[in-house]
Every structure is written in structure tokens, then in C-alpha cells.
Structure 1
Amino acid sequence: MIVTMVDAIDRALVHALQLAGRAPYSRIGEVLGVSTQTVARRFNRLRAEAGLRVVGLPDPQLAGRSQWLLRLTATPRVAQDLAGALSRRPDTSWIKLASGGTEIVATVHSTPSDGNALLLNDIPRTSGITSVSAHYLLHQYVGGPIAWRGRANSLTAEQEAALLQTGIPRTPSPQLVDGASVKVRASDGKLLQALGEDGRASHADLAVRTGWSTATVARRLDELLRSGAIFLDTDVDPVALGFTTSAMLWLSVPPAHLDAVGRALAEHDELAFVAATTGRTNLVTQAICAGPDALHSYLTERLGAIEHITAIETAPILRTVKAASPGLVGWRV
């Protein structure tokens, strides 16, 4: 993938999509003060050159899914092959090569019915792996439905309000529909698969994929989005936004202070992911910074100033092999 650098209009477009992933090009153009054609052209260019896309995903907690972070170390050749194999599995996302290409960090989604096959069977039997650790995600402070704040700083408050004033569902916007919580059903499978490939797919295209009428698609999609049962996530290569350095940070915090530290970190624009986990370390984050100096400053000044963090392990990310979207691979950070 050829990574392009972006300008102010591109950044505003990414911000708009993060707020309202299915907003029409015409509405985004009105808010940004550019033509519909300009928005469409910019979106298509960023899609081709920076992997920009919107995907619709079920909220793991509301869908009854467990999430694990796997850390695997291996020789560089084995690690790359294994990362590629993991990326082809439907139960994985956010697969990263870290620590010079000798470490894999992957998110694995499981349900009680699948027996955690990957965790218990597949990984330990793969030759060439020197260590494996699995960390159960207990609570996410940033990530999933709670989007990264670092790329949402291009629109003014007035522009944000104008984008959302016509009833376009905010991303995310947990609400109650007809006074009851809406849950993902087995019959939503084809809809979710289509949204996982393209969260901006038209009602007509989704009707073809699901076999439903366009009216049924529109009604069900609106229910799922407004209830928070599914959310829209925006993928884009951070390098295109000027963030060239990224690292996983594995933190140790006394349990009595874990939630307070997690909430404090959730306010940091440098962090695209913050979660409490099980394991030897109990808080994990992903920092995305403008460069090595910016990461150093973040670690020593902002993170270092937070009380009760007793240890930090930093693992630089070399490449994102798989993101939230099945179609987005090959980020270089």
C-alpha cells in the first residue's frame, strides 16, 4: 500500500467519518464547505492509498463475545508466517508485528460455544513459537465503540453539531429503541458480514446481500446502530495522518488503582487503545505518536507523571497485519 500524506480536508473527512460513518458525501461536503464530488474523490483516494474505510462491527459485550489479547514470540520468519495465518481466521482482528518482527499481538474473539479452539489447541501446537501468553480483556476504556481521540480533532464543535443534526446516528450512539435493548440476532449474520466489509454500503446493496427488502434493511440497521448493538469503526493508516511511531505498552498497576489509572489514560489523545486485562501486567495500551521523540516525551512526561503505574513494558509496532476490517491489511507503523 502506497501511503499518502493528507491535508486539512482529508483530516476533516476522517473526523467526520469517525463521528458518523454512514453520513452521505453531500452532508459531509456541506459541513466541510466543499463539493460532494470533492468528498467522494478524497474518500476514494484515501481508500486506495491509506486504507480508509468504514466497517460495521457488533459490540463484543452485547454480542456475548469474549476478547483475548494473544502475545506470541518466535523467530522473525515464523512470526511473519504465523501472523499471516492468523489474519485469515474469522475470529481475529488487530494483528500486529512488534518488537522488531519477533512478537505478534492479536485480538481473538470467542464465544462459549466455540470452545476457545484457537487459544487451547491451535496456538500451542504451532512449531517455532518460543512463548505464548493470553490476556483476557476485562474492560475497554478506549477501543471498539470508544474511538481513538487522536484523529478526531479537525472539526469544530459547530461542524460536529451540523453533521449530526439531521438524525444521522452518531458513532457510537448507545440508546434504547422502543424502550428495550436491541440485540444482534442469528438472522443478522449476512447483514453483519456485509457491514464488516463496507460499513457505508447502501441499503440497496445490503438488501442484495441479505435477501431482505431495502425497507427492512433500513429499519434493522437503524435499530442496531441506535441501540449500540453494532458500531461503525473507521480504519485508516495512521502514517497517512502523520503518526509514524506506535507501540504496545504493557502496564502494571495495583488493583485498587486500576480503574482510576485506566480512566486517566482514556483522556490521552496519544492512546488508541486502553484496556484492563488479566495476566502478569493488568493494563495494556497502544500509543500512536508523531515519531520516536514524541513517544519518548509521552512515556517520560505524560505517562510517567501518572501515579500508581509500577512498571511499563514497551513493544514497538513494526506493522499491522490485520485491522478491524477484513479487507485492510499491511499497515506500516
Structure 2
Amino acid sequence: MTTPPPEPHVLDALDLQLLQALQLDGRAPFSRIATVLGVSDQTVARRFRRLRGSVGLRVLGVTDEALLGRSSWLVRLRCAPDGAEQLAGALARRTDTSYVGLLSGGTEVLCSIKPRGGQEDELLLARLQRTPLVTSATAQCVLHPFYGGPVGWLNKINALDADQEAALRTPSVEPSAPLPVLDEVDETLLALLRRDGRVALTELQAATGQSESVVKRRLDRLRSSGVLYFDVQHTHELLGRSVMAALWLTVAPSALASVGESLAAHPEVRFAAAVTGVAGVFAATVHRDTRELYTYVSEGIGALSGVRSVESALFVRQVKQLMYEPGR
């Protein structure tokens, strides 16, 4: 007899609370989350494991490259027929990409790249252009983020009340706090946390050869300076958002700030930034269906003063999910 497929996991209120709690503090102990949510530690641990399977939940440590003086680029690549999947897979395996997505039409890839060590010209203008699968490439430097980074989209689902948010939120980054000079130990910690933001202290100790107190002190220093924060990777379908779109907004220069600030407040927006190029603002959005996307573009975007035109494309698939590493 054939075993029937498992029933799809329907997210309930506790699932949504856990997702938002992890967005607020990706390394919060299950015991702390349980106390705030009024459930047992075992319940939180069990829900966490289940969400890993149902929505692809992963907590990832992210480095704010902007604070380290490194630039971030959005690169749109047009590919030869049947080449987009192969190119997207190759880009996803690179350590300097944080987001890779396939756009509608099947011949375009959009990725976020953080070149290291002044390699922008060589990577963006030479290596990618010489790739046989690429027919054209457009690179836009992120000038100013309006939404994204430490403030992820899960903060907009309002699953937690104000008191719960306050109990779980990590302390704000102090703007005047000195930035740490990263050494080999810091880089090792960051590399491990990029793969698993909740990696155990014992594993961090073993990889660095440092004591528990030293590892904790290093983590506190990286987090308090803003160099390290945590983001939650997940699929959007079970959260009722099956349509993901990329929007390029041509905006009057005098309206860049007001348009960006408005976009940041929209519940549909998971990332928005001022970028170089003709389209001065880029936004990534999520919607229940294409009708809702139409309404958002015609009414939500259409109501913003200073927006002259909008180009839109749908994401067919996310290959690598973190949209943006630099912070505020």
C-alpha cells in the first residue's frame, strides 16, 4: 500500500510568534523564548524543529559589510536559454553572495554580491561579463538601505504584542560604539555563524581554540557594534505570501528619501534601498497573489509622490535567500 503524503503544516499563532521572536534575537535561548510566550522549553524546541522542515527555517549570522567599509551590489544577469538555473546555482555557492533568485521568464538571475578586498571591478565588470552563460549584466551599488538587514520582514507580521517584543528584542546598537578590528578569531566566528546562527558555544570554542568566556565576549562585541546581526531564512508560501516581486522605481532625486521611508513602512516590502542607475530605488516585495501585487503597484506605489515609473518582475524561485547583509 502506498503511504499517503504528509499533511501540509498550517502555521498557527505560536509558530508565527516563534518566527518573529527569532527575528528579534536569533540566538535567544529556547528557555527565554518559552518564558515570554508562556509555553515550555520543549514546546519551543519541538516547534523550531518542525518549522525547519515546513518553512525551511534557518537562523543565520550576517555581517554588516557597510560598517566595515565594504560595498554591496545588486546584479541583474540575463542569460543564454537554459543557462539561468546553472548560473544561479554557481552564484549561490559563492561566499560573497547573500541572495540569488530566478526571475520570471527563466533567463534572468538577480543576486546580491558583496565583493571582498576591493574586487568590485574585477568581479562585476570582468569575471561575470566573461561567463559564457551571461549575455548581459547590470550592476547597481546599494547607496542607502531603507528596509532590510537587522530589521527583517518577520517584524511586520505582528505576532507578538509590545511587551513580548520588548522582552525579546536585543539592545539597540549604539551609534558611537567603536567598530571592532576583525582578527582571525572573529573571522572564524563569523564564518561559522553565517552557516548556522544558533551554532553551539562548544562548537565555536572548538573552532577558535578560545574559552567560553572569550567566545561570549567576542560575540557580545560583534553584536553590540552592529557588525554581527541575525536573520531568519524561511519560505513565504506558508505565511500566505506565494508571490514575490522585484521592483525598480524611477524616482525624482528630491523624493528618494520620502519614497524610501514610505516603502519601509509598507507591510509588503521586505527590502528597499536607494541604488545607482536610472532606477533610483529597488524594492523586493511579497504578496498573496498577482492581483494583490497589481493593487500594490497601482495604489501603494502609485500614491507615492516622486515615482515616475516602475519596472516589475516576479521571482520564480529563491536559490539563496538572504537579500541584504549591510545594515541600516
CA distance in 2, matches of 1:184, 1:107: 25
CA distance in 1, matches of 2:181, 2:20: 27
Q: Report the aligned-residue RMSD.
A: 1.9
- C-alpha distance after superposition, 1:160-186 (max 9, x if no partner): 12334xxxx34xx3126xx74132503
CA distance in 2, matches of 1:105, 1:150: 24
Q: Quote the offset at 1:158 in angstroms.
A: 1.5
CA distance in 1, matches of 2:199, 2:126: 37
Amino-acid identity (%): 43
Q: State which of 287, 293, 298 in structure 1 corresponds to 2:296.
A: 298
The equivalences for 1:13-52 within 5 A come to: 13-52=18-57
- Does residue 12 of structure 2 align to residue 7 of structure 1? yes
Note closer, same or farther for the CA distance 1:296–1:180 as it changes in structure 2 (3 Å cut).
closer
CA distance in 2, matches of 1:50, 1:180: 36
Q: Quote the offset at 1:55 in angstroms.
A: 1.1
Tell me the residue number matched to 2:255. Answer: 257
Stretches of structure 2 that go unaligned for 5 or more consecutive residues are 1-5, 324-328
Q: State which of 155, 161, 164 in structure 1 corresponds to 2:166.
A: 161
Tell me the residue number matched to 1:200. Answer: 198
CA distance in 2, matches of 1:222, 1:72: 38
Q: What amino acid sits opposite 2:118 in the alignment?
A: S
Tell me the residue number matched to 1:134. Answer: 139
The equivalences for 1:14-163 within 5 A come to: 14-114=19-119, 116-148=121-153, 151-163=156-168
Stretches of structure 1 that go unaligned for 5 or more consecutive residues are 326-333
Note closer, same or farther for the CA distance 1:85–1:230 as it changes in structure 2 (3 Å cut).
same
Moved over 6 A (4+): none
Structure 2 residue matching 1:101: 3-state secondary structure: coil
Q: Quote the offset at 1:15 in angstroms.
A: 0.5
CA distance in 1, matches of 2:115, 2:188: 19
Paired residues, number = 316
The equivalences for 1:177-188 within 5 A come to: 180-187=177-184, 188=186
TM-score by length of 2: 0.91
Q: State which of 284, 287, 306 in structure 1 corresponds to 2:285.
A: 287
> 1:70·1:135 contact (CA, 8 Å) conserved in 2?
yes
TM-score by length of 1: 0.90
> 2:255·2:306 contact (CA, 8 Å) conserved in 1?
yes
CA distance in 2, matches of 1:162, 1:307: 38
Q: Quote the offset at 1:115 in angstroms.
A: 5.0
